Structures are given as structure tokens and as C-alpha cells.
Amino acid sequence: MLRRILDITASKLKGSSYQLDKALSVGDLLKISICRIYMLLRGLRYAFRLKKRGKLFIDSHSKIISPRKLSFNGVATLEKYTLIDARVKKEIAIGKNFTLGRNSVIEGLGVISRLGLGLTIGDNVGVSANSLISIRGKVEIGNDVIIGPYFSLHPENHIFQNIHVATRLQGEERKGIKIGNNVWIGARVTILDGVNIGNNVILAAGAVVNKDVPNNCIAGGVPAHVIKDRLEK
């Protein structure tokens, strides 16, 4: 009975059919239920402070800075030790069924002299543990994106051409980063400024992506290059 109730509840929250693994014991299910209720109650702390709030589940030791510039359009889960710093020029807008994995950071503020621009994330996006999404330049992430652990994204490059001037004094450029729909990003992938990732792309674990990846491709390596077109047999 408990399993059935949880399946129905999860399906309603996610907006699609969802079933918990049958290997979970009754004890496991009870612990999960208690934990989720606790996370939901923690999320209520931001009920009137967010720009827009869906059903927000926040685990312990997690924090949102400047919630007035942050909107959730559906269910969102922030696991332990996560941080969303929404001190940006525009806003951070996150779609339905979003998860930010343990120890992960969405970082809007780098230096107070130049705030980051903003971030949009579509529906059904999961960011695994120990990841960093920096939003110095504008970042767009589409729908149905899977992001593996130890992911990092950096929409900013330092200008360094003049060797007689300290790099930190030469300024930065911020072209931004865009990730399409139905993208699978493997563990320890790094995406650099100015990159556009197409739809239906797979980025192999450990890739450092410094140039665009077309639709329907598998890319990997350091620096990343196209390995295969997924439409070719």
C-alpha cells in the first residue's frame, strides 16, 4: 500500500508515470518518505521569497542566495550541500523536474564588479553530484538533459594577449553557452565559453568541449571532437 501511494504521489509531482524500485524495503520507503517531507518543509522557507516557486524540496546544508531572482516552474530537488547563488543581472529560470546533485553549485556571483548574466534551464534536467555551473555569461540548457558528476561549465574567458600586463587586469569576454534538448553529458565533462551543443548530443566522459558540437553527434576527447554521427548506421 505504501509503495502504491508513493508511486502515485511521485507520478503526480513529475507529471508522468513513475515507479519506485521494487527492491526498496518498507523501511527504505519510510525513510525516503520522511526525508522528502522534511525537504519539502525546508523548501517552504522560500515560499514568498522566490520570483516563482514550484514544489521545492531542499535537503540539509543547502542554500539559495538572492531568491527574488530565481524561479522554479515545477518540482525541484536540491540535495545536500548544494548552493544556488542567483545574484545575476537578469534571472535564473528553472523548469519542471529539476535536480541539483549533492555538493553542486550554480554560481551567479564571481566578482561584485561584474555580475553574471543569467541562466535558463528547461524541463527534466538532472545535474549529478559535485558539479559547477558558472553563469558569468548567459547560459541556456534545454529539456531532457542528463548531466554526470563532476561536470563544469564556464561561460567566460580571460583576455591574455598582452604578456606585459597581468592577465587579471586585461578583462574578460563572455560569449555564453547553449546546450540543446535531449543531451547526455558524461562524468567530468568541461564546457568552455562560446560553445553551442546541439540537440540529441552525447558528450563522452572526460571531454573538454571548446567548440560547437552539431545535432545528433557523439563527441569526446581533449579537446573534444566529433566521434560519430548518431544518424549514420
CA dihedral of 35, 40, 45, 50, whole degrees rounded to 10: 140
CB neighbour class for 72 (10 Å; exposed up to 12, middle 13-18, buried from 19):
buried
Identify the active-site residue in 61, 154, 158, 164: 158
Which residues, at least 6 apart from 66, have a Cβ–Cβ distance to it below 8 Å? 85, 86, 87, 88, 108
Specify the pairing of strand 225-229 against strand 217-220.
Answer: antiparallel
**Is 154 assigned a catalytic role?**
no
The Cβ of residue 170 has, within 10 Å, a number of other Cβ atoms equal to 12
Name the residues annotated as catalytic: 158
